[in-house]
Structure 1
Amino acid sequence: MDEKDAGGYSVSYEREDIAFPVYVISALAAAFLAAAWFTGLTIWLALGAAAAGFAYYNFPLLETGRATMGANQYGVFIQAFGLIRWRAIDKIDLISIAERDTTIHELQIGLKVPLSSALVTDWRKQPFYRSLMRLPWSMTPANVVRVRLGTFNQPADEIHRTLLRMWRYFRS
């Protein structure tokens, strides 16, 4: 099974807030690299390379049509991670983390089995050009998959409720 064939309920990145900074940094990178080309100064090249690297790392935020996370009858799928079986999931929690003046919502999926047996399909091996880009997930040593929900096109509590409802239905 491929990432594109996952089907079912899915969420993707929201385009409104997050696309603008990526486009601005891309334009700055182009301007810095053009300045390096015309002036021959390495400072412009260094600034252009740093800005281009930042824009490249955040490029997945522009892929609004691609499903980033979701669920189907087989389990929960996460882009560049894989498809986690419903029966391998121990808990699905929505955690609110206060950072400065904002609240970050994070979905934590606890696994009851080792990751190698929890995954129906493993999408962690990415082509080299994708391996340098932002990942929507992180894994803790306690066998918990963490996904930040702030950049998705649906509210965090709605994503959590939908995944809980599907988990209760499909695990039995």
Structure 2
Amino acid sequence: MSATLDERNAGGYSVAYVREDIYFPVYISAALAAVFCTAAWITGAVYWLLPALAAASFTYYNIPLLETGRPTIGANQYGIFIQAFGLIRWRAIERIDVVQIAERAMTVHELQIVLNAPLRSALVVDWRKQPIYRLLMRLPWHMDHNGAVRIGLEPFDQPPDVIHRTFLRMWRFYRS
């Protein structure tokens, strides 16, 4: 495998976050944090720092949603790659499902990648160790107690069914 395989240059099929007005609140919270910090500095009142910290924390956590040019998930000849997780080899995947989950007044889609091997041997490349400044930022994935990798598909620039079909097609091709 190429030594230059990293999160920014994984090659193959990739999906990034969509650039939409839905993430406008991230910009608003950054502006609010600046306004509250300015209010605390001008008035000398420390109580303005609490809402400034809350707004800045929300902004910091959601900064990855603004990185629309960076591949977040995708696949290549080696397996499925997930930002801040790693590259899962094709033969370590038992199945790939899209699950619809009803949340309040909407339905969200989640890609579930079930592994047939321990995580340590399933990963070709492990990207879980992040730089310190990214430790508390939003991750595109989480694992359930059964060891399945779960990825919410709503913030991506391609429809959930297209992502699922492409992953399934590549999985069937490369594992054979």
TM range (shorter): over 0.9
Please, which of 123, 136, 139 is the counterpart of residue 135 of structure 1? 139
Q: Give the aligned partner of residue 95 of structure 1.
A: 99
Instruction: Assess if the C-alpha contact under 8 Å between 1:28 and 1:51 holds in 2.
Output: yes
Deviations for 1:111-149, whole angstroms, at most 9, x for unmatched residues?
000000000000000011011100000011211000000
SS at match of 1:141: coil
Q: Give the aligned partner of residue 47 of structure 2.
A: 43
Distance 1:18 1:63 in 2: 14
Distance 2:103 2:90 in 1: 31
When residues 106 and 17 of structure 1 are mapped into structure 2, their CA distance, relative to the original with a 3 A threshold, is farther
SS at match of 1:58: helix
Distance 1:55 1:40 in 2: 24
Distance 2:88 2:65 in 1: 23
Deviations for 1:61-103, whole angstroms, at most 9, x for unmatched residues?
0000000000000000000000000000000000000011100
- Unmatched segments (≥5 aa) in structure 2: none
Q: Deviation at 1:49?
A: 1.0
The one-letter amino acid paired with 1:63 is E
Flag as ranges the 4+ runs of structure 1 deviating above 6 A: none
Q: TM-score under structure 2 normalisation?
A: 0.96
Q: Deviation at 1:151?
A: 0.3
Q: TM-score under structure 1 normalisation?
A: 0.98
Instruction: Assess if the C-alpha contact under 8 Å between 1:28 and 1:48 holds in 2.
Output: yes
Distance 2:153 2:21 in 1: 14
SS at match of 1:91: strand
Q: Comparing 9-18 with 101-110, which one deviates more in the overlay?
A: 9-18
Alignment map for 1:1-172 (pairs within 5 Å): 1-172=5-176
Instruction: Assess if the C-alpha contact under 8 Å between 1:18 and 1:151 holds in 2.
Output: no
- Unmatched segments (≥5 aa) in structure 1: none
Q: Deviation at 1:19?
A: 2.5
The one-letter amino acid paired with 1:19 is Y
The one-letter amino acid paired with 2:128 is R
Distance 2:129 2:144 in 1: 18
Aligned pair count reads 172
Distance 2:98 2:57 in 1: 32
Q: Deviation at 1:13?
A: 0.4
The one-letter amino acid paired with 2:80 is V
Counting aligned pairs with the same residue, the percent is 67
Q: Deviation at 1:17?
A: 3.5
